[in-house]
Each structure stands twice: as C-alpha cells, then as structure tokens.
Structure 1
C-alpha cells in the first residue's frame, strides 16, 4: 500500500507535518515555544525538547493545557488527507470502496468470574493479587490509585463482562490490547484488524475458544480476504458499519505501526472517534498511554524518586557524571517539585511514535472536557515484539531493573490494563482540576516515574548492563 493511499500526510514529509502540528498546538499557550518549533533545523534529533515543552506549558494552567490539545488536534485534522479530501470529510464525503456486514463468533468457553492476572509463571487472584499490587505500590511500580482501581474491579467481578457495552478493539491483534482478556471475561467485542490471513486466523481462534461474543467485519464490495478491514484505506466503510452495531460503543485505539504509518493510524482512529461520538453521544473512548513519554508527575512519586536519589552511593555516581560531562545519572526531579516532570521520551522510538501517542492524549483531554467517557491509562514498559526487535531498546529493557524499572511481560500488561479499562467504564471518575492530573490517576508506569535518575541519563548504562543479560 502506498504511503499516499487513504489517510495520508499532505506531502511525503512526516517531519514537516509534525513540526506544523506541534507549533500550532503551542501557538496560543506558549508563543515562544511555537517559534522554537518553527525554527528547529534538526527535528529528528531535537524533537524531544519540544514535546516536553508541550506538557510543561499546560502545567498549572488548565486552560492552556486544553488549548494545546484542541489546537494540536485541529491542526492535525486540517493537514491530513483522505485521498483528495480533507480528513474530516473522509467518512461522509467520499464514496465507499468497501462495505461490511457483521460476522459473529460465539465463544464456546466458560467466562471467568474472578479477576486474575498472570505474573511470572503464576496466575494471581484473591489475596495473592492484592499482595502483588501492594508490592508494586511499595516498589514504586504503579500508583496507589492504580492498585485501588484494580482491587475495586476485583471486588466487583460482575463488571468484567461489561454488559451493555460493545468494545471496539482497533488493532485486535496487538499484544498490548485488551482483546484476549475481555473475551476471557465474556465481554462483547469488535475485533478490527488488517484483512490478512494470519491476523484473522488468530482473531478467529481466540474468539472461538473464548467465553465472549466477537463481531468481525466481513467484506462485501470487493474480492480479497473475507474478514478484516484496513483502517487507513477503508475508514468510511468501517465508520458506517460500526455505527449500526448494538450496545454502547467503547472505541479503543490499540494500533501500532512503524514510522509515519503510526501517525496515520492515530489520525484515522481519531477521525473515527470524532464521527462516532457525534453520531452516538454515549460512545466512550479508550487509549493506552506509553510510559516513554513526558508526563507531569504527582508529589508522592517525586518524593520517592528523590529519596532514592539521596540513598544512592555518590562513590558510583560522581565518577560517571564526571567522565560523561554530567550527562549520566542526572537527578530525576528538583527537590520539592510538585508536580515533577518525568521526561522518558526515548530517542530510538522517533518523532513519529511520539506524535502518534501525543495525538491520543490530546483527544482524551478534549473528549473528557466535553463530557465523553474516557479511559486513558499509562501502561508499563512491556517486552512486546515491536520493542525487542530494536536491539538498543531490548538491551536497555534488559538492564532497566538495575535502576528500579520493572519491564512487564505482555500477558501481565494487557490483563492489568484491561482491568483498569473495566474500572474506568464502570466506576468512572470525575475530571481532575488539570489534564495532567487525569493522566496521573491509575498510572502503571513501571517505575519510570519513581526512578532516582532522569530516564534518558540512565538509558545508555541500562543498555550496557543489559547486553550481558541478553547474551546470557
């Protein structure tokens, strides 16, 4: 498929589009920051500082944070195209090249009626799960609110089925998505992923063996694979099909792709979200935030990080800082910061990944402000295929435990985050005073927020230490 088919950038340069979007996002809230973006001559190297600035400019100023989110999304929608049309006209203004009907798969399994989470070869439930949640909180791996949310779901196992909801899983084959967990719990799920034989076979197998009900799009107008849909090129047909499904729709974006395609997918999902919320005002939205981004962090996590920094040996830290010119093992937060800024953006993941994930956070902010039910939770760093294929990241992950960061297995992460999704859809939460506080609630950051050292200042050392572990 061509990069210009379906949802596409206005030119071949994703860099130009990203700079425009970030500058427009900052223009009202931080005009100096907007000019800095526009004058940036090496975006791929220096984008990190601008993404951080787009968080800092909204801290302490809720109006500014909302403006950054709304203006960034507006700019992205103005820029992106669907064929010859602006993206916002894609669904209602273009002819259908594909239409879909519903194929239903009824699972033959028995629904789980107790919350359990797989962890290091065991399946934790009951008291064992509570004890592990307590350990994660004590170790600074998840926030206290995340632990309390999971325990609330544990105390209300009838929530697991999500009766009355139809959860649309965009990227159903993704390792971090909730597809598997929701089906184990007997939920009603839409599995939407590419019309490829291998992808669709995995989806069907899981659906058949599960306890849930799965809706998959079956193709009508053209030849090719019978089930599946391409969000980039078949967006109008997908939107019309989803609009006719039963139950309250919960649209969850779990799509991933390399490079600029990830941004295109985020924008396709965003256009779909905007359309469904307009058509069905009870539609809820769901996202997973990556921990390798910039976040404002509450005082409790800042205090823990500073206590760890004070307890670490200067005999090791001082020589490393000296030989690196101060680049290694920098203090994570200033004393007393409230909130602190955790800047865990990873250069190896690139500016397209950062923009794709930031667009999702912006949509969560604007949707929540307009009264839409939103679930956006920070997920822990996880050994997914997309991460471990990058040798530098794989090595850093292997050595990260030396710096207080726990890397999760996919099965643990996706079940934990699915439980938090259930909590958000059933227990709900009143909006916080500022958007950064909404993002901090129920965060399962894996220890990045409470680490003693600035994440990037420890990344290289973690990678060096991790190389031996990978070889072993």
Structure 2
C-alpha cells in the first residue's frame, strides 16, 4: 500500500528489494560444483549426501533453496518483495532486485543453530560475509541499477543476473539437505577451536 501511494505521487519512483539465496530460482543446469570443501570435508559431505540421499542442487533447472529452519514467514516475506518487483517491472517501472549474500547479521549470530550452520558452510566453501561488507556490496549494486535501468528492464533473468549467492547456487546439493551437515561441521569447528584455546591458555 505504501509503495502504491508513493508511486502514485511520484511516477519516477524506483523501487528496490534484496532477495535471498535461500529461495527458489530458475537457473538452468549449468554451473554446479563437483564437490564441496576440500580433503576430508569433501569426502565426508559426499558420503553424507549418499547416506541421507540429499536432493540435487538443481531440479529441472530450478534451484530449490528453501531452508526449513528459516520458516515459512521468511519465505513469504521474500516472495512478496520478489512478486512486487516482477509486477512493477512488467508495468514499466524502474526497479532494483538483487540477491544478497548470506550475512553475519545480529539475527544470525544470535541464533545458535544458524550461527553454527554458517560456520559449517564456510568450511564447505560457501562463506557468509560480514554484514558491513554485504551492505557495501548491495549498496554498490543499487547505485549500478540506478544508472543502468535497461539492464533489468530487458533481462529475462533479472532476478539472478547479479546474485551474490556465496556459492549456494552452484552447490551440487540443495541447501536444506546440507544444513544438518553444516551444523555438525560448524559444531565440530567450535569444539576444536575451544579446545585449542584452552591449550593455549594453559601454556
């Protein structure tokens, strides 16, 4: 409603949204990684994927990025913005829609399971970014969209053209299936780090 009222008064208004890599997008079948992480981590995740029968990272060219722990409200909120971006673009309005990276925001670092999962994802080669770096990247993309309106106006893949997905889009497995493994991996890192810290302090 607010967007509609503002746009009715200012016809030159540009609307902007930040999308999430934990959403579903049509990406095609190209660009999937063959493995995640290195050495023992890569071997472990391959074994885990076979045992747990993880779904692939693309299903019919669609990336199934939803993650259960984030819940339906998060998915709905992101989808509302994405829908508005699609509708306003079709109506001829200049819009900015960019998928932002996984970020170490306060809401994430205060959520024990998410924080542990993010630690594990970093070891899998999909590192979340510091929140200030993410903000700078997204601000730069917004400025670019302001100065190049035709880029999104005439693109059939405008939702993901400039996605900063931290490697999620090229994962061979869907994010939801990987989260349990990432939590275990992140928890192991925390325990190892804690033990090392105790050893250093004892010395």
Q: Give the helix-richer structure, 1 or 2.
A: 2
Aligned match for 1:461, one of 167, 171, 181: 181
Deviation at 1:442, TM superposition (A): 0.9
Gaps of 5+ in 1: 1-270
Q: Does 1:392 align with 2:113?
A: yes
Residues in 2 aligned to 1:369 and 1:417: alpha-carbon distance in whole angstroms: 23
Aligned match for 1:364, one of 74, 85, 94: 85
Aligned to 1:303: 30
Deviation at 1:307, TM superposition (A): 4.1
CA contact (8 A) 2:17 2:97 kept: yes
What pairs with 1:154-193 in structure 2 (closer than 5 Å)?
Answer: none
Task: Pick the structure with greater CA Rg.
Answer: 1
CA contact (8 A) 2:94 2:153 kept: no
Deviation at 1:350, TM superposition (A): 1.1
Q: So what's the TM-score if we normalise by structure 1?
A: 0.37
Q: Does 1:287 align with 2:8?
A: no
Residues in 2 aligned to 1:372 and 1:306: alpha-carbon distance in whole angstroms: 36
Residues in 1 aligned to 2:98 and 2:121: alpha-carbon distance in whole angstroms: 22
CA deviation string 1:22-70 (max 9, x = no partner): xxxxxxxxxxxxxxxxxxxxxxxxxxxxxxxxxxxxxxxxxxxxxxxxx
Number of aligned pairs?
A: 189
Residues in 1 aligned to 2:7 and 2:182: alpha-carbon distance in whole angstroms: 43
Q: In the superposition, relative to structure 1, how do residues 430 and 350 fare at CA in structure 2: closer, same or farther (>3 Å)?
A: closer
Q: Does 1:410 align with 2:131?
A: yes
Matched residue SS, 2:30: helix
Residues in 2 aligned to 1:274 and 1:350: alpha-carbon distance in whole angstroms: 28
Residues in 2 aligned to 1:441 and 1:367: alpha-carbon distance in whole angstroms: 18
Deviation at 1:467, TM superposition (A): 1.3
Aligned to 2:65: 344
CA deviation string 1:324-381 (max 9, x = no partner): 3x24xx43226xx6xx222221211111111111100011001111111101100000
Q: In the superposition, relative to structure 1, how do residues 306 and 413 fare at CA in structure 2: closer, same or farther (>3 Å)?
A: closer
Aligned-pair Cα RMSD in Å: 2.5
Q: In the superposition, relative to structure 1, how do residues 433 and 425 fare at CA in structure 2: closer, same or farther (>3 Å)?
A: closer
What pairs with 1:401-440 in structure 2 (closer than 5 Å)?
Answer: 401-428=122-149, 429-432=151-154, 434=156, 437-440=157-160
